[in-house]
Structure 1
Amino acid sequence: MRLTLLRKALRDDRRAILGWTVGVAAFLLVYLPFYSEFAEDTAGAEEMLEVIPEGMRTAMGMQELFTGAGFLESMVFNLYGPLLLVVYAVVLGNRAIAVPEESGRLDQLLALPISRQRYVHERLAALTIEVVYLTAVLCAIVLAFAVGLDMGVALGNIVAISVGVGLLALLFGTLTVAVGGLSGSRGLGLTVTGAVAVGTYLVHVLSDAGAELVEPLRWASPFHYYLDADPLRDGIPLGSYAVLLGVIIILAVAATVTFERRDIGV
């Protein structure tokens, strides 16, 4: 029975993992080659940027679209990369508790000689492995293009920001598991996590755009700890990433405790 649930989760998710792998690879293979056009026509890129409001350029990381770091930040790491990985993690996180409970399969799983704590831990382990895998796929493809197109970005910094994307996705995935452990509702899990993700991203964007009203709230946004230390240019920000990791651990503990104490009729 050792790690049986972990192996089962990975086996059950293999089609989803394959599909998301293809999707992320396709996205990167479509957009990354455009860097050559921006790099060769910097005047045209600057003209294009001038018609975009400054606040939007800042929010989307488009100030230096014609440089390697600016292009990767805008096209991959500011919005679309995190969006893909966060949605992936949330979908998989919802499968940990809420989906099996609503489908009636959770009773069968917990009828096995395993504790609820072990159940949550192995599902969280599966989520972590799956997020790390897709993050590695994204990182490997970006590294290949960075070298092939001579983007002039330190490869270690690409790894650094990829670690941040993975932590961000794992945070929201673990939040989904925690909400599922508390409520047993997949709809509520998606709603709460989606609201938190969108809300905290807007806080990050608006504070970067100079909105004084939300400026004090930027410290509550995971996106602040992911992007504001500028890992793509300055390397891995240990303090900021430690905050993200700390929140993930807190959410994992919360998921375990709430699920252990809730009456689900088993």
Structure 2
Amino acid sequence: MTLVHSLFKQNRSWIFGYAFGTSLYLFFLAAVFPSIQETGLIEGKLDSLPPELLEVFKIDPSIAMDNVVNLLAGNYYGLIFYVLAILFALTFASRLMAKPVDSGEVMLYLAAPISRSAYVTASLVVLLFATVLFVAANGLSLTVADLLFDLGIDYGVMWTLQLNAGLLLFVLGAIAFVIASLFDDSSRSYMVTGGLFALFLIANIFSGFSDTFAWLERLSVFSLFDANAQLQGDVPTLSFLVLVGLLALAVVACYARFTRKDLTI
């Protein structure tokens, strides 16, 4: 627990930054929803946008914008969230693996003595806490907005979205942690991880352009979080199971790789 506390203390600024920054965005978007709903501005804006742009932002024009969660599916739980998830995972891997190895900080922990497995465990606990805080803060901000402005939020759908989003964050963080452990240069690991996640994102976007590119969806981890499908009543059971499987593989890889990694000062 001492190591977990130490790692969290060093990283609390970016953890709270992601959690509360996104929560404020959600709260203010929910707060202005009644006003923009009355003006019909949302529907008019969607009608004026080309279908390709709607696909990029994962906005389904067939979904009636009569509920704030429906609005958030296109204005947050699409491209915006995917980019945030990538940055979240990159920050975690950089701050708890790439930079500590690059600077020799990990060697100080191991000299304490702290085992390599203990360091991986502590890092993943910090990732879990950061993910839970992110999800809880987002959900709480929407709950407060609903109580204040009577938005009629479907909490079942909202928390299913939050849990799916949280699981995706955890998986991406674990994958980024594994990739970061492959390099001794933090900048190189950052570029490789960012490039891989960018390919996932591009594949997910292009898969929706036409049936010809539909197969690209199977290459992207982001296809396992489809907010629009959940709003239309789909239960993401398969997505949850696949994400849990990917998480298990990534966690095993974290331990297998770091316990065998050459560390130099």
TM-score with structure 1 length normalisation?
Answer: 0.88
CA distance in 1, matches of 2:228, 2:240: 10
Partner of 1:21: 19
Give the paired residue count: 262
Aligned residue for 1:230, secondary structure, equals helix
Aligned residue for 1:97, secondary structure, equals helix
Partner of 1:47: 44
Q: How does 1:134-153 map to 2 (within 5 A)?
A: 134-153=134-153
Report the RMSD for the aligned CA atoms in angstroms: 2.3
Q: How does 1:192-211 map to 2 (within 5 A)?
A: 192-210=192-210
- Native 8 Å contact 2:85 2:172 kept in 1: no
Partner of 1:130: 130
Partner of 2:32: 34
Q: How does 1:215-234 map to 2 (within 5 A)?
A: 215-227=214-226, 230-234=229-233
Kindly provide the amino acid, as one letter, of the partner of residue 176 in structure 1.
A
C-alpha change, 1:121 and 1:127, in structure 2 (3 Å) is same
C-alpha change, 1:15 and 1:143, in structure 2 (3 Å) is same
Equivalent residue in structure 1 for 2:53, among 53, 56, 63: 56
Aligned residue for 1:209, secondary structure, equals coil
1:7 aligns with 2:5: yes
CA distance in 2, matches of 1:58, 1:147: 32
Kindly provide the amino acid, as one letter, of the partner of residue 26 in structure 1.
L
- Native 8 Å contact 2:8 2:126 kept in 1: yes
CA distance in 1, matches of 2:14, 2:239: 30
User: Structure 1 residues 177-186 or 12-21, which shifts more?
Assistant: 12-21
Q: Deviation at 1:91? A: 0.5
- Native 8 Å contact 1:168 1:226 kept in 2: yes
CA distance in 1, matches of 2:197, 2:152: 32
Q: Deviation at 1:9? A: 1.0
Runs of at least 4 residues off by over 3 Å: 146-153
Kindly provide the amino acid, as one letter, of the partner of residue 42 in structure 2.
A
Kindly provide the amino acid, as one letter, of the partner of residue 89 in structure 1.
A
C-alpha change, 1:206 and 1:149, in structure 2 (3 Å) is farther
Q: For residues 50-104 of structure 1, what are the alpha-carbon distances to aligned partners after superposition, in whole Å with 9 as ceiling and x for unaligned?
A: 2211132234215146222420101221122343344223202222221111122
Partner of 1:256: 255
C-alpha change, 1:231 and 1:188, in structure 2 (3 Å) is farther
Partner of 1:93: 93
Aligned residue for 1:130, secondary structure, equals helix
Partner of 1:174: 174
CA distance in 2, matches of 1:146, 1:237: 24
- Native 8 Å contact 1:28 1:141 kept in 2: yes
C-alpha change, 1:219 and 1:197, in structure 2 (3 Å) is same
Q: For residues 9-61 of structure 1, what are the alpha-carbon distances to aligned partners after superposition, in whole Å with 9 as ceiling and x for unaligned?
A: 1121122233333422332233333322332133x433322221113223421
CA distance in 2, matches of 1:140, 1:228: 19
- Native 8 Å contact 2:82 2:201 kept in 1: no
Considering Cα pairs closer than 8 Å and 6+ residues apart, tell me whether 1 or 2 has the greater RCO.
Answer: 2
C-alpha change, 1:58 and 1:173, in structure 2 (3 Å) is same
Kindly provide the amino acid, as one letter, of the partner of residue 20 in structure 1.
Y
C-alpha change, 1:81 and 1:170, in structure 2 (3 Å) is same
CA distance in 2, matches of 1:126, 1:47: 43
Q: Deviation at 1:215? A: 1.8
Kindly provide the amino acid, as one letter, of the partner of residue 218 in structure 1.
E
TM-score with structure 2 length normalisation?
Answer: 0.88
